[in-house]
Structure 1
Amino acid sequence: MTVFKKGELFSGPGGLSLGAKISKIVDGNGIEHSVEHTWANDFNEEACKTFINNISPNKPASVIYKPVQKVDISKLEGIDAFAFGFPCNDFSIVGKSLGIDGEYGHLFTYGIEVLRTHQPRWFIAENVGGLKSVNEGKTFRLIMRELINSGYDIFPHLYKFEEYGVPQARHRIIIVGIKKDENLKFKIPAPTYIDKFKTAREALLNPPILENAPNHQFTRHKQRVIDMLNHIPPGENAWSEKIPEKMRLRVKGARMSQIYRRLHPEKPSYTITGSGGGGTHIYHWEQPRALTNRERARLQSFPDNFVFSGNKEQVRQQIGMAVPPQAAKVIIEAILKTFAGIPYREDSRGPRWSQIQIQKQLNSL
């Protein structure tokens, strides 16, 4: 048996770790390859409780609740694998896109410190698609340079998670890194859903969610919101022409497409977020209401027995910021197959970043 001991920074509630936990492959010699949680860190107390309860109930001390700046990385247990979904606030296309100069932009350097201190055999770094373009791409190139200079070949790719069985149009940059001395090339796994995606209807109704399921509290809406939702067709939002004039929102300037946007039952959900005011909670295609946290969790591919800690808004934040476990599983199993020497289908569509192309990008810094 080959077991990769994994550490994680910015672990959130454990979406990526759940994907790692359920990732197992067996090679031609009957040897199992898997990933084992070793330690994790996050500054959100409720997210740490969620992680402990679902990922490491027998090792609560392995989850470190404190700001990453206060973690003594040199004293963490040695690891073979590492994951860090460093905060995306300053890289998102929604907002000012401050990049490295923002409040959160520098936090990726703590992941670099882990790589240089513990030299795991492979890592996964996750962030929003906007990372690629912020500051005209300079931030992304800087991050890639630091990862390469830490001793790794890197394999970045913009994954569309709906193409891998997640019932949600969620697009994220995932950088897989493998230590240079392993002499291994990671291949982007081929999508498993191309012509027919998993839909919102399938995710929420197959099977139906039990009434007493955890994190399944319904929102009490004002009557005017219910009346407006009743006039919005599936897939449309608060700016729908079907809404009577007297019920329409009086908003000047930009009109965000996700305000009171209802799901389309025959399509994947739009991107789930962890915060936002009225009208941003994702709305059922048929019933005039916001989704429950349990429903949002399903759209993120969490199983119903994964219980989130905290109040309603704290749970919403955890779900919206998490890596979908199903997406993590696909990528991590491809990594395990790479190390085990097991062939798998590669995504052959469009150009890919070769190591030479990446180096050319870095030379422009």
Structure 2
Amino acid sequence: MIFRNGELFSGPGGIALGAKMSGFIDENGNQWGFKHQWANDFDQDTVDTYKLNILNDPDDKTTFCEDVAEFPIGNKNILPDIDSLMFGFPCNDYSSVGKQKGLNGCYGPLYSYGVKAMRVYKPKVFVAENVDGLSSANEGYALVKILKEFADSGYHITPNLYKFEEYGVPQTRHRIIIVGIRNDLYEKGIHFHVPAPTTVNPNDQKTAQQAIEEPPISDSTPNNEMPKTTKRVAERLSYIPEGENAWYEGIPESLRLNVKGARLSNIYKRLTHNKPAYTVTGSGGGGTKMYHWKENRALTNRERARLQTFPDDFKFVGSRESVRKQIGMAVPPEGAKVVLQAVLKTFAGIDYDWVKPTEKLQLRNLLNTDGSSLKGIDK
């Protein structure tokens, strides 16, 4: 079975690439996978990147650069029926890095367009992704509201906190992913389970150095321009050991930052060569661009893309800062692949290793009520 897929907030194609990689042929010769039907994102460079790499067609007319508020959800002449829906709804207002405005921010309520698409198209399955900070936004109310709306749209939902370094991604990127199976299908025995981690042991986890150096990045690889580094920044970095940041005590006074607090931040923080990288981000000013464990410089965009598990032939469109943003905001394709392949195996009736979902994220544990309206919540 090939699922016709619709995607909101598509980004440059992290989830879509994971979907492409997740397909397989079962022992009976049946093909399982996802096929692009339509997608949208608000940023033109991001949309161009998606078209170029996911669809191999810069002139594609099924991927739209459009504000989701204006996106014609429900107009089936433009956006035809789908079997699956995927959306990494914007995390800006839920991220612990920012002010965490949650539902009160500009981006916080945008998940509701995913709900709208669920109710209009009634896909067999949906997959929604956001940062782990979602669980604490608005003192926990945001997550309750979102999960309840997902469930009330007719889906049995399985929220889980995925620690991507435990799934082969060379980065400590922790994300909440919610998989929803339509209730009528769930009642027929189609029950999604959280795929079991493959690299729980730190000794088995892919390191930053392995990701960036194995194999070496060739001179012809796109998006690998060396960043400009001022003499002062390079000198400051020369005193910072791997794993440490701008507040390392060994930095001479003349090179210290005149900033109070934030001693545990990632400002001028070097990677640790034999551990997964810290989280790749897409925003922030000077000192937030991730720094090589040995060389006195920031990472190139291609190095960041490798930490995000994008292949070297995946070419990002736009300026250097635009590319940096696209990479940081994306879902790691290899991480998406793990979840989406589990979805396909669920529908195919193929067993796989699984674990119980994160207990504290289940709606029955989040509600402060008597527990009514819990139909469709993972027990």
Q: Shorter-chain TM-score: what band?
A: over 0.9
State the superposition RMSD in angstroms.
Answer: 1.8
CA distance 1:246–1:314, shift in 2 (3 Å): same
Question: What is the aligned partner in structure 2 of residue 32 from structure 1?
Answer: 31
1: CA distance, partners of 2:302 / 2:242 = 20
Structure 2: gaps of 5 or more residues? 374-379
Deviations 1:79-138 (CA, angstroms, capped at 9, x unpaired): 000101111111111222111111111111111110000000001100000101111211
Contact in 1 for aligned 2:8/2:39 (Cα 8 Å): yes
**How big is the shift at 1:249?**
1.3
The 5 A counterparts of 1:1-365 are 2-58=1-57, 60-75=60-75, 76-183=79-186, 184-195=190-201, 196-255=204-263, 257-348=265-356, 351=359, 363=371
2: CA distance, partners of 1:355 / 1:25 = 33
Deviations 1:5-54 (CA, angstroms, capped at 9, x unpaired): 10000001000000001111333322121111111000100000000000
**How big is the shift at 1:155?**
0.3
2: CA distance, partners of 1:187 / 1:354 = 14
Contact in 2 for aligned 1:167/1:198 (Cα 8 Å): yes
2: CA distance, partners of 1:340 / 1:350 = 24
Contact in 2 for aligned 1:142/1:362 (Cα 8 Å): no
2: CA distance, partners of 1:6 / 1:249 = 48
1: CA distance, partners of 2:224 / 2:347 = 40
2: CA distance, partners of 1:33 / 1:55 = 18
2: CA distance, partners of 1:38 / 1:241 = 54
Contact in 2 for aligned 1:89/1:104 (Cα 8 Å): yes
Instruction: State the SS of the aligned residue for 1:74.
Output: coil
**How big is the shift at 1:211?**
1.7
CA distance 1:244–1:14, shift in 2 (3 Å): same
- TM-score (norm. length: structure 2): 0.92
Contact in 2 for aligned 1:153/1:355 (Cα 8 Å): no
1: CA distance, partners of 2:265 / 2:251 = 15
2: CA distance, partners of 1:287 / 1:177 = 44
2: CA distance, partners of 1:322 / 1:296 = 11
Contact in 2 for aligned 1:234/1:264 (Cα 8 Å): yes
Contact in 2 for aligned 1:145/1:362 (Cα 8 Å): no
1: CA distance, partners of 2:9 / 2:300 = 25
- TM-score (norm. length: structure 1): 0.96
Structure 1: gaps of 5 or more residues? none
1: CA distance, partners of 2:9 / 2:370 = 26
2: CA distance, partners of 1:228 / 1:63 = 44
**How big is the shift at 1:250?**
1.5
**How big is the shift at 1:254?**
3.1
Amino acid at match of 1:111: G
Contact in 1 for aligned 2:268/2:287 (Cα 8 Å): yes
1: CA distance, partners of 2:54 / 2:370 = 37
4+ residue stretches of structure 1 with deviation over 6 A? 358-362
Amino acid at match of 1:188: V
CA distance 1:357–1:116, shift in 2 (3 Å): same
Contact in 1 for aligned 2:160/2:357 (Cα 8 Å): no
1: CA distance, partners of 2:291 / 2:239 = 13
Instruction: State the SS of the aligned residue for 2:291.
Output: coil
Amino acid at match of 2:245: N
**How big is the shift at 1:253?**
3.5
2: CA distance, partners of 1:253 / 1:352 = 31
Contact in 2 for aligned 1:154/1:355 (Cα 8 Å): no
Instruction: State the SS of the aligned residue for 2:178.
Output: strand
Contact in 1 for aligned 2:240/2:250 (Cα 8 Å): yes
Amino acid at match of 2:8: L
